[in-house]
Amino acid sequence: MSISADWTLFLQIANFLVLIFVLNAVLYKPIRKILADRQAKIRGLEEGISTAENEAVEAQNSFKEKMSGARAKGNEEKDKFKQAGEEEQKRIIGEVNEASQKELENVRAQVVKDVEQAKSKLQEEIKGYSAAIAEKILGRAVS
* 143 inside domain: no
* 142 inside domain: no
* 89 inside domain: yes
DSSP string, 20-67: HHHHIIIIIHHHHHHHHHHHHHHHHHHHHHHHHHHHHHHHHHHHHHHH
* 121 inside domain: no
* 84 inside domain: yes
- Give this prediction's pTM: 0.46
* 127 inside domain: no
Rounded CA separation 104/4 (Å): 141
Taking only the tens place, the pLDDT of each residue in 52-109 is 999 999 999 999 999 999 999 999 999 999 999 999 999 999 999 999 999 999 999 9
**Domain limits for position 70:** 9-106
* 44 inside domain: yes
* 42 inside domain: yes
Q: Please tell me the total count of domains within the chain.
A: 1
